[in-house]
Chain A
Amino acid sequence: MGAGETDEAPAPPARPPEDIRAVALRRPGRWVAGALVVLLAAVLIESVVTNPRFHWPIVGEFLFSDRILRGLLLTLVLTAIAMVVGIVLGVLLAVMRLSSNPLVAGGSWLYIWFFRGTPVLVQLLFWSYIGTLYPEVSLGIPFGGPDLFSADGNALITPFAAAILGLGLNEGAYMAEIVRAGLLSVDEGQTEASHALGMTRLQSLRRIVLPQAMRVIIPPTGNETISMLKTSSLVSVIAVTELLYAAQLIYAVNYRVIPLLIVASIWYLLVTSILSIGQYYVERHFGRGSSRGLPPTPWQRLRRNLPIRHARVPMPGGSGLGR
């Protein structure tokens, strides 16, 4: 067709075209599926509420009991410390893994291989029995030199210390892979530019690469934290009275197993929910600076979807500057 030569472009309409008001397509399948879900949920709730064996009054009785709350606090402390240990170790291992020294890189690889390759439960048990493996722990010159410090292995590795070691060292292996992925995600040009300016490798890592790697590192770290909160319940096997073990100690006496497990579950759910919300906003924070606009928060989405369409919620994070 020889179009384009002649002036075929239609004259602009005098007024903007009317909005389309078509009859919406019927979707009966959606209604059926929706009804099914509602029905199932109703059945479930009905059984949970009416089944007396759930013993809801007992759940209420123990939900805020001192021992449970102390267990919860210990769970939070364990999670926090183990994550800090894991993150520090992870950064160290990731940097080692990327080292050009094959022994250093190999050491990191070996660590990750071992700690990812064995169950964390087994590692926790190992740490709690470390006293039998090393009855006496001393610090001194290796290979037969004099001791500077010496302690009983069992006294040194308390159950709490074993829990921290087990959870933290294991987490380090996982964090190492996350941090490594983050470091590799930063464009090599950034490192080169910093080197060309006379920055050393350490300066470049700390000031240029790590801050940019954060965007990739933060979201999975949030997941790891949430996962750690729940994994910390494994520590109950080495007699650390965190949330689950606190509940177990109570039901060992009163035999109210189900209600107390519900109590523990409610707290786990509550804390993971809070952490998820926190994670969402931390991710948004570190997502800034990418050229794409940020998605709206649930609250903004809710407001935008309200029937009143007049108030358009502006996109946060800026002016939608593309490249």
Chain B
Amino acid sequence: MVRTEAVHKRFGRLEVLKGVTLDVPRGDVLCVLGPSGSGKTTLLRCINHLEKIDAGRIWVDGELVGYRQVGDRLHELREADVARTRAEIGMVFQRFNLFAHMTALENVIEAPIRVKRQTRAEAVARATAVLERVGLADKLHANPAQLSGGQQQRVAIARALAMEPKLMLFDEPTSALDPELVGEVLEVMRSLVADGMTMIVVTHEIGFAREAADSVAFVDAGVVVETGAPGVVLSNPRHERTRACLSKVL
């Protein structure tokens, strides 16, 4: 579903990603671990083209992200085409980023109406169902400011799900939450795993990675240090750097 090949990303002179190669088969869950500043978030943002990569290639569902290949030249995609790619990739942010001027329901129906051209009735019906699924049936008309962090993040997940994405990206979805609210968000994410959603999850929740991930990638200083089954990478890391970092987290 997602393949990255030797992805490089620079911000000015700072090279954040130095050749990241990953492969996430359809229906798999990949957890990306690593110290802060290692490039995990940047990698995620490159996958839906919020950041432009400087070298390498990224494919989602067999299609090149952000470019079209003609012969051996790459052509940048038009904005509408990039938008179409993004519409099929759900993203959940660390800081929720709910539209502050809209209610929970309005947050969820916005993109289906504007991007997928659904009728309002259709969108509301679907949105109500998704919000119910994340346990917020009673918060349809609440403003983001009236919701707890955990509830906001669940609305954000519902907002992404309403677009019926084929891939979900989670950027540290529980890092901005009070400890007692982490559980409810992880709960929703587990239910997605059970549904067979393809997911890439940048997280510090080792527990979630251990039980839900099909594979774990450990990223440090812009490179994938180690990748494999969670049982192996987390319990028996081969690399010193992985071991050092995990010992701090655990």
- Measured CB to CB, the residues of A under 8 A from B are 187, 189-190, 192-201, 203, 207-208, 211-212, 289-291, 321, 323
Instruction: List residues of chain A with CB within 8 A of the CB of B163.
Output: 197-198
Q: Is the interface of A mostly helix, strand, loop or mixed?
A: helix
Instruction: List residues of chain B with CB within 8 A of the CB of A203.
Output: 114-115
> Closest chain A residue to B162 by CB distance?
A197
10 tightest CB-CB pairs across the interface, nearest first? A198-B87, A197-B111, A193-B97, A189-B97, A196-B91, A198-B115, A291-B145, A198-B86, A198-B83, A211-B101
User: What is the distance, in angstroms, from A163's C-beta to the closest C-beta of chain B?
Assistant: 36
Q: List 25 A-B contacts (CB under 8 A).
A: A189-B95, A190-B99, A193-B91, A193-B93, A193-B99, A193-B156, A194-B110, A195-B83, A196-B86, A196-B89, A197-B86, A197-B110, A197-B111, A198-B83, A198-B84, A198-B86, A198-B88, A199-B110, A199-B111, A200-B83, A201-B79, A203-B115, A207-B110, A207-B114, A212-B101
Instruction: List residues of chain B with CB within 8 A of the CB of A208.
Output: 99, 110
User: What is the distance, in angstroms, from B56's C-beta to the closest C-beta of chain A?
Assistant: 21
Is B38 part of the binding interface, using a Cβ–Cβ cutoff of 8 Å? no
Instruction: List residues of chain A with CB within 8 A of the CB of B156.
Output: 193
Instruction: List residues of chain A with CB within 8 A of the CB of B99.
Output: 190, 193-194, 208, 212
Docked complex Cα distance between A187 and B80 (Å): 23
User: What is the distance, in angstroms, from A198's C-beta to the closest C-beta of chain B?
Assistant: 3
**Once the chains bind, are B101 and A199 in contact (CB under 8 Å)?**
no
Docked complex Cα distance between A74 and B87 (Å): 51
Instruction: List residues of chain B with CB within 8 A of the CB of A197.
Output: 86-87, 110-111, 115, 159-160, 163
Is B146 part of the binding interface, using a Cβ–Cβ cutoff of 8 Å? yes
Q: Mark B72-90, 1 if CB is under 8 A from A, else 0.
A: 0000000110011111111
**Once the chains bind, are A195 and B87 in contact (CB under 8 Å)?**
no
Instruction: List residues of chain A with CB within 8 A of the CB of B86.
Output: 195-198
Docked complex Cα distance between A291 and B163 (Å): 29
> Closest chain B residue to A206 by CB distance?
B114
Q: Which residues B127-151 have CB closer than 8 A to chain A?
A: 143, 145-146
Given the known A-B contacts A192-B93, A198-B84, are A323 and B145 also in contact in the complex, defined by CB atoms under 8 Å?
Answer: yes
Instruction: List residues of chain B with CB within 8 A of the CB of A192.
Output: 50, 93, 97
Given the known A-B contacts A189-B95, A211-B101, A212-B101, are A199 and B143 also in contact in the complex, defined by CB atoms under 8 Å?
Answer: no
Instruction: List residues of chain A with CB within 8 A of the CB of B90.
Output: 196
Instruction: List residues of chain B with CB within 8 A of the CB of A187.
Output: 97, 100
Docked complex Cα distance between A190 and B95 (Å): 10
User: What is the distance, in angstroms, from B115's C-beta to the closest C-beta of chain A?
Assistant: 4
Is B48 part of the binding interface, using a Cβ–Cβ cutoff of 8 Å? yes
